[in-house]
Every structure is written in C-alpha cells, then in structure tokens.
A and B are shown apart, each in its own frame.
Chain A
Amino acid sequence: MSARLVIEGLNAGYGKKTVVNGVDLVVEPGEIVTVLGHNGAGKTTLLRGIFGLIRLKSGKVGFDGRDITGRSPSDNILDGVALVPQGHGIFRSLTVQQNLELGGFSVTDKAVIAERIARVFGLFPILEERHRQIGGTLSGGQQQMLAIGMALMSGPRLLILDEPSIGLAPLLVERVMDSIREINAELGTTILLVEQNLKQGLAVANRAIVLNRGTKLYDGSPAELADEGRLIAMF
C-alpha cells in the first residue's frame, strides 16, 4: 500500500525568498502527523504548497501513489485532499448552511451533500442549532468548527489543518482536538496538523515533525519529543 502523502525536497517561498527548504515528509494512511515550529518557520507555506495554493519552487508531492505536484486546489479537493486554512476559514457573510454547502462545492450529488451535512451536525451539534446564522457572527470556536466541517464536506482522505486551535480558550482547544481524533478514528481520515499548542499538538499525534526556518529538525515519536530536554533544544 502506498503512503497517503509523500513530499520530497519541497522548496517554496515568496518572490525570491525561500521559506520552506528541502522538506521531506511521508504520511501513512490513518496517521495523525503534527507539524510544530516557531512563528514564521514556514508551516503555513508548507501546507499551502502541498495543497496547490502557492507554486512550488521545486520538489514533489505525491498523494496515494500519484504525483500531484503543482495540481490546482480544485483538482486536489476533487481527489480527496482538503485544507482548513489558518485564520478565517469560512465565508463570513454567508450562513452556516451556505458555508457547509460551499465546503461541498466539489460534490455534485445533492444526496451526498445532505448526508455529509448531517455528519458534520453530528460532530458539531451547535452548528445545526445555528445553521441559519451568518458565519461571521459565530464565536471563534464555532467558526473553527464550521471551518473543519466545511473541509469535511468534500469527503477527504487527507485533511490538512493549519492551527485550528489558534486563539481559542483551553476548553475549546480540547474540543477541537477531540473532534480531530474523532474524524481520524471514525471516518479514517488521515490528518496533517500544524499546531502552536505543543502539549495538545503532541497529545493528538502519532508522529511529530519540527520545522525550523524552513527545514525539518525532527521527525519521530511525539512522546520522545515531549521529553523536556529535546523540546528545549529545539525551541
């Protein structure tokens, strides 16, 4: 069985500046892999490069045995890759319901959309209660749940999340992490997660990656990384 995601020598950046420098990474089906790193380490750039939102300078991206380097986001989402971006991952002027429908924009079968909306409501009941509310008026935690729900609408095999817990109160961080576990366990979705919150990010992961100034410093067990000495050495 081929790996879900294979990244080889990925270089990406903005203009002449290289921000992600020769990153290799393999994610196996069913894994939860957490990427850690300082502000500006290049985590977001890595994720956006994988998903096709920015052009790679060089390197390769493979998904389920196929080369998807440079493929557009619309093709990626059709093929089972979804991204929850950092920050406002919703349409703020549209209702919760419209947001979820747009999350499923790549899906043409109305029955499948209805089924997946029901699944998202099962995962986040508050969204069902507020399905007619305008997205921008939801609380930060609810907006994040909506953003995750939108990504699930395309039925991804690989879900990429960019700091889903940022700015959330500790209790809500727990809630979001639990939902990630649940998505992984119940839907079998492979997860690639960027987290600032070390403790939570490591607790949810099967494997951890540390990115520093665009290069990979660590790739291995989260427990070993959580060992004080190593973390201090890295950060």
Chain B
Amino acid sequence: MDLFAQLLVNGLGNGSRYALLGLGFGLIFGTTRIVHFAYGPIYAVAAYAAWLAASAAGLPLAISAAIGVAGAALAGAAVYGLAYRPFEARGMSSHSVLILSLALSIVLDSLLTLAFTPSVQTIPEFTAPIFILGPVYVTALQLGQIAAVVAVAAILTLFLRRTRYGQAILALGDNRDMARIVGIDTDRISLVVFAIGSAVSAIAAVFTLLNEGATPTMGFNPVFIAFVVAVVGGLGSIPGAIAGGYLVGLVESLGLWKIPTEWQNSIAFVLLFLVMLVRPQGLFSGLKR
C-alpha cells in the first residue's frame, strides 16, 4: 500500500509534466494542424537556455526558468516562421510538412549535441526540498509541477476566452478558411501559437532539467508523450490534455507496480493504441475548451 501511494504521487508529478506537454502540443496541432516533431529539440532548447542562465551566467533559478521559457517561445516561433510557414505558403501538402518537421528535429538534435556535448548537464548547487507525508516522499518539484499545470490551464483558458488573440486562435483552429475571411492574419496567429505552445512545453523542460539535467535528446520521448497525451485527450482541448496527461502519468507509474521497469516507456503507447481502437476521437473530446 505504501508503494502504491508513492507510485501515485510519482504518477501525479510526471502526469503534470505530461499534461503541460500535451497542452502545448495540442494547442499547436489543434490550431495549425502541423504535427510538430521539432517540439522535441525545442524542449531541449528550453532546458539548455535555462541551464546556461543558471550555471554560466549564475542567474537566480526563477529568472533562469523564465529565460528557458522565453528561449523556447522564440525558437518555436522561429521554426514556424523560417521552416513550416514558407513550405505552407508554397502549397506543400501536410505530409511534406510532416517530413520537414522530422528532418528539422534531427538537425536540431545534432546542433544541440555539437553545442553542448552528449553528456548530461545539471545545475550543480540545486537540490529540491523533500517533504515526508506519512509513508510517501513528495518533492518540491512534484508540487511545483502540479501548481504549474493549474496556473497554465487557468491562464490559457482566460487567454483563449477573453482576448482578441485567443478568439482568433479558436477561430483558426475551427476553420482556417473562415479565419482568413473574417480578416484574421492567420500567419501571425500561427506564429503566436507556436510561441505559446513552445513556452508551455518549456515549463516541463525546466522541471526536467532540475530533476534529471539536460541532454541533447531529452526531447525525444516528450514529443511522443505529448502526441499520445494530445490524442488521448482529444486534440486541442485544455481539460482533455490535462486529463490525458494525468492518465498517462498514472498508468505509467502505477503500471510499475505489476509491470517490469523496462516496459515503462511502452505503456503510453499501449494506452494510445487502446484509445485509438475504442475511441479514436480521444477520451475527453466531448469537453469544451
């Protein structure tokens, strides 16, 4: 029972990161219909930007995290503006854009390896406080991750519902042609969406940096997790992505109870497979944004 409680806490912690990943990925895909594989290396860019700020420049953690988030937002917007957008403007099919995003992802991975070496970079002086609640250990990072999901979900919801940009994002996600017809600058909105989606994933990246450190390929698994979470949750819905994130996190963690560790990474995909089989529109797709 103690093990179960501990796995539950771990699942909630990881699930929070997955929820953030799914939120960012779902926002980008739901609005632009681009399957953004380069989401992975941009996640790594966020971690490295924060790491440089904290270790090389010696900035405080909060500021370093903000720099990581801003760096990812810039990198995400740049990938859209310099790579995807010119392809789309030439009328390339979504398959071509998909291949482009895979290629881009490989190139960015290599560049990160060249710049930072393949070894793990950590912020040396950082250790997260640990709280002991009865039989379970809860780290400050786990609590921080949960708080981040709550904050991001609240801000995103308000942003989408209340602001002009938010309405334009919803409109673009619903019907691109109509969005242009009512006078929305769809290129600019897509750029903004890439920036926001990347920023959201960057929050998860900063937590990963603090947990495990940064490596050039640290974004590889998260892209797939983001994909699974977004699909399981029903693409483009905020509550769906959050529910999907926690579902994947909990299933993965609680699965360890009975399933050997080496299968942990496969659990998410088994879940994806099952969901696609039973409810291809996503488990939570009926929920409103």
Residues of A within 8 A of B (CB): 51, 53, 72-74, 76-78, 83, 85, 88-94, 98, 101-103, 105-106, 150, 154
Contact = CB atoms under 8 A, between A and B. Distances in A.
A102 B167 contact: yes
Given A76-B183, A93-B170, 8 more contacts: A53-B177, A73-B183, A85-B181, A90-B175, A91-B170, A91-B175, A98-B170, A154-B182
Q: Which of B175, B181, B185 has the most CB of A within 10 A?
A: B181
A92 B183 contact: no
A105 B168 contact: yes
Interface of B: 164, 167-168, 170-171, 174-175, 177-178, 180-185
Nearest to A135: B174
Nearest to B185: A74
Contact of B178 (A76, A89, A106): A89
A106 B185 CA distance: 10
B180 A94 contact: no
B63 to A, nearest CB: 35
Contacts of B181: 51, 53, 73, 77, 83, 85, 89
Contacts of A92: 174-175
A92 B173 CA distance: 11
Nearest to A14: B91
Return the 5 tightest CB-CB contacts between A and B, nearest first. Answer: A77-B183, A74-B183, A106-B183, A91-B174, A105-B182
Given A92-B174, A94-B171, A101-B167, A53 B182 contact: no
B182 A77 contact: yes
Given A102-B167, A105-B168, A154 B175 contact: no
Contacts of A53: 177, 180-181
Contacts of A72: 185
A149 to B, nearest CB: 12
A85 B177 contact: yes
A161 to B, nearest CB: 12
Nearest to A89: B178
A88 B177 CA distance: 10
Contacts of A101: 167
A91 B171 contact: yes
Contacts of B178: 85, 88-91
